[in-house]
């Protein structure tokens, strides 16, 4: 653009000293063009950099949330498994207790004594000693 405005005063031929105006205009034009290009690239790169930083933060946040979700799911699963195991143990213990009570009842039926007499006999034995 500078060359176009100064087209009438430029010297296109001659020695290096005679074309100093042309050289000065091209130097100034290159400086302005370089500065403008540099500034535009800085702005563009700054925006791209900010976008990349934002994307990286979002990725890290998503990964953190995913890890926390997986950890919560694992802990809930372990807790549920523990509750199931405890329920099974309680059920087995209840069944064993009922089985033992049934065996004890059958034993007393076979030997002609009921449970109340047995407790009474134990109390009498303790009093005699």
Interval 55-109: pLDDT, tens: 999 999 999 999 999 999 999 999 999 999 999 999 999 999 999 999 988 888 8
Q: Mean pLDDT, to the nearest integer, of 25-35? A: 86
pTM here? 0.46
Query: Which pLDDT belongs to residue 109?
Result: 84
The answer to whether residue 105 is domain-embedded is yes
Give yes or no for residue 37 having a pLDDT over 60: yes
63: which 2 tokens? 């990964």
The answer to whether residue 10 is domain-embedded is no
What total number of domains does the chain contain?
Answer: 1
List the domain range (segments joined by +) for residue 32: 18-128
The answer to whether residue 3 is domain-embedded is no
Helix %, strand %, coil % of the chain (to 5): 85, 0, 15
Give yes or no for residue 124 having a pLDDT over 90: no
Q: Phi-psi bin for 63: left (phi > 0), alpha (psi -120 to 50), beta?
A: alpha
């Amino acid at each position: 653009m500078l060359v176009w405005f100064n087209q009438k005063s430029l010297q296109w031929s001659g020695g290096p000293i005679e074309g100093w105006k042309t050289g000065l205009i091209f130097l100034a034009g290159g400086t302005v063009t370089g500065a403008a290009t540099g500034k535009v690239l800085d702005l563009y790169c700054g925006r791209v950099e900010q976008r990349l930083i934002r994307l990286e933060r979002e990725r890290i946040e998503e990964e953190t949330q995913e890890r926390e979700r997986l950890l919560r799911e694992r802990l809930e699963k372990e807790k549920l498994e523990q509750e199931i195991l405890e329920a099974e143990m309680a059920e087995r213990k209840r069944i064993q207790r009922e089985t033992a009570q049934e065996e004890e009842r059958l034993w007393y039926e076979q030997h002609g004594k009921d449970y109340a007499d047995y407790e009474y006999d134990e109390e009498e034995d303790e009093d005699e000693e």
